[in-house]
Structure formats: C-alpha cells, structure tokens
Amino acid sequence: SAVISQKPSRDICQRGTSLTIQCQVDSQVTMMFWYRQQPGQSLTLIATANQGSEATYESGFVIDKFPISRPNLTFSTLTVSNMSPEDSSIYLCSVVAGSTDTQYFGPGTRLTVL
C-alpha cells in the first residue's frame, strides 16, 4: 500500500493569486497523478506527474495554469495559478503502487477562491 499526505489540507485564497499544493508518498512510486473534484462533482484527472520530465496534461488542462513538479519518486507539487472562483475544488494527489496496480488517493486539498 501507499500512504499519501498533502499540504495544505485546505486554504482560502484571493482571486489572481497562486497556490502550490504538496504531495508526499511514504514509498517510491513511478506513477503519480493529480485529480480535481469540483464542488458536488466527480473526480477529473488533471495530469500525470512524470519524474524527470514534463507532466502530461489531460484535455482541458494546461501547464501555464497547473504547473507540476516531480523532483523525485516520493514527492510532487501542483500549482494552481492566477486563481479564479472557478478553481475552487478539492485537489487530490494519487499514486499507483503494488503488483496489482492499485490506485491510492491522498486526503485532498480543499481550495476556496474568493
């Protein structure tokens, strides 16, 4: 299994500012992902955080808005840039670990943009 922690757990931010969310895993993992859960909605994959190379973004998400770093196999950051109220969501870090490709999720970061 994998235990994932995220910082901060929640934040309230002003429009136009940026927030960086940290994700720490208790073991080395190859695959790490960032998901978004907008209020009352399901989870949507933002991007795959690749160690040693640029992140791979899903349709509708761009690097300028959601820059991602992955300096090693246990850590990643997601920045939400130039925030607007529409960015108010829960952002979840996720990893795949184990021989059966099981996916694990962090506790999420609840972001409110005013």
The nearer residue to other proteins, 3 or 18, going by C-beta atoms, is 3
CA–CA separation, 113 vs 100, rounded Å?
38
Q: Which is nearer to other proteins, 83 or 95 (CB)?
A: 95
Structural tokens at position 17: 């500012």
* Residue 14 or 59 having the CB closest to other proteins: 59
Number of amino acids touching other proteins (CB under 8 A): 23
Q: Please give the torsion angle defined by the CA atoms of residues 5, 9, 15 and 20, in that order, rounded to the nearest 10 degrees.
A: -20
Please identify, using beta-carbon distances, which residue of 43 and 81 lies nearer to other proteins.
Answer: 43
Q: Which of 14, 39, 42, 53 binds other proteins (CB under 8 A)?
A: 42
Taking every pair of C-alpha atoms in the chain, what is the biggest distance, in angstroms?
43
Applying CB under 8 A, which of residues 61, 73, 104, 112 lies at the interface with other proteins? 104
27 binds other proteins (CB under 8 A): no
Question: Judged by CB under 8 A, which of 13, 43, 63, 73 binds other proteins?
Answer: 43
Contact 36, 46 (CB under 8 A): yes
Q: Which residues bind other proteins (CB under 8 A)?
A: 31-33, 41-45, 48, 92, 94-96, 100-108, 110
